[in-house]
Homo-oligomer: A and B are copies of this chain.
Amino acid sequence: MYRINPHYAKLTGSYLFSTVAQKQHAFQDAHPEVEVIRLSIGDVTQPLAPAVIAALHEGVDEMSRAETFKGYAPDLGYAFLRETIVEHDYKARGCHVEADEVFVSDGAKCDCGNIQELFVPESRIAVCDPVYPVYVDSNVMAGRTGVCDPKTGRYEGVIYMPCTRENGFKPEFPKETPDLIYLCFPNNPIGGVLTKEELQGWVDYALRVGAIILYDSAYEAFIGEEGIPHSIYECEGARGCAIEFRSFSKTAGFTGLRLGYTVIPKDLKELHDMWARRHGTKYNGAPYIVQKAGAAVYTPEGQRQIFETIGYYKRNAQVILDGVRAAGYYAVGGTNSPYVWYAVPEGMTSWGYFDYLLEKAGVVCTPGSGFGPSGEGYVRLTAFGDYQKTVEAVERIRRLGA
């Protein structure tokens, strides 16, 4: 008699953004007259760059002729893309990463979710709190945690590193020693960053305790300030302890196109080879046309065009940050990040304020508590919306008052 994996039942509720979407749709159905503005999920809204569109059309044309048709992609990605990535994202920043250390995939979410398979079930994971839910949920599903305590909102066995107003929203080295440390900077959902010195501290810590850092750098393109590392490989020793995830989703608007990559240095030879084996066995490559589109992002026109769009979103972030502060809220993020994180009015919960904001202002946010217990009392707004709608949403939030 078959038996199901019992760990899925430990997951509290559905995936955060599925719940947010359900609530939004229920509200919209009940109030068809309201123009609901979504500043919730970090989904982009601006069209793909012309250079990307041209590459896609060209790729599609290649698929229409037997001479240029492409079947299965190489397991780990086309060499043209892996080499371009190394050149632009690493060599240009003085980082040592080689093309055969880059594993192209259909997105950082999948890679972040799957990476835990390479480690033993007993691995202790450490996560920032609040944090992107995939890190914890994928480990819950794999049985690497106990149940979630309904009082604290914490899964047994997980090492939480609270990021709160008190500590400047930056994680501190945990008291218990972790085996795997998930770090995401610029941070989702708070929008904070680490300086190079701070990140070097984490690399040194990981090397000291024998932990692997799983570094999610999906938002690096939003970094505006100097001295903020775009890659963990800017830090000394990182090749011996860090795996990095990168995404084209936020950088180049590929959320609906699906492209990302993971770097596993050969200094971590076993993990490098296991990930290659996993790709070969359980994955079948990103579509050729999408990889070609990815390479177009790195052309001079592609770079100019995507930075124009990133500039558009960064202007939104500034509007949101200024707006919620002007409304009287305590807010952070938005500077090196597309996310603004602000404290809900005294006495309200994150979900309470979510409902309040949806009902009173027709604005969809993401409740901070959905990212972890220390997110309670906060919500996240994203800058990925349309500019006019973002301005309108912020105006509605201001009218509501803090």
Contacts and interface: CB of A to CB of B under 8 A. Distances in A.
Interface in A47-104: 47-48, 50, 53, 56-57, 60-61, 63-66, 69-73, 75
Interface stretch (A133-141, A161-169, A196-204, A347-355): A133-141
A234 to B, nearest CB: 22
Contacts of A70: 256
Given A60-B53, A117-B5, A120-B6, A137 B281 contact: yes
A71 B107 CA distance: 13
Contacts of A18: 75, 280
Contact of A64 (B4, B53, B120): B53
A270 interface: yes
A14 B290 CA distance: 27
Interface stretch (A185-193, A207-215, A363-371): A207-215
A257 B113 contact: no
B66 A56 contact: no
Interface string A276-303: 0110111111111110000000000000
Contact of A106 (B106, B137, B253, B270): B106
Nearest to A291: B256
A3 B47 contact: no
Interface stretch (A37-45, A316-324, A338-346): A37-45
A365 B69 CA distance: 21
Tell me the number of copies of this protein.
2
Q: Which of A6, A209, A274, A282 counts the most chain B CB atoms within 10 A?
A: A282
Interface in A355-397: 386
Nearest to A68: B47
Nearest to A108: B284
Given A53-B60, A64-B48, A71-B44, A4 B284 contact: no
A26 interface: no
Interface residues of A, number: 81
A179 B2 CA distance: 5
A180 interface: yes
A123 interface: yes
Given A63-B48, A138-B282, A289-B56, A72 B256 contact: yes
A133 B114 CA distance: 20
A230 interface: no
A14 B277 contact: yes
Contact of A8 (B60, B134, B277): B277
A253 B386 CA distance: 37
A367 to B, nearest CB: 17
11 contacts: A1-B209, A3-B119, A4-B119, A18-B75, A48-B63, A114-B282, A134-B282, A141-B277, A141-B282, A257-B287, A287-B287
* A-B complex: 8 closest residue pairs judged by Cβ atoms: A113-B282, A1-B210, A15-B280, A43-B71, A71-B255, A2-B179, A70-B256, A56-B60
Given A106-B258, A117-B141, 11 more contacts: A2-B119, A3-B120, A4-B119, A18-B75, A18-B280, A45-B66, A53-B64, A56-B60, A71-B255, A134-B282, A138-B281
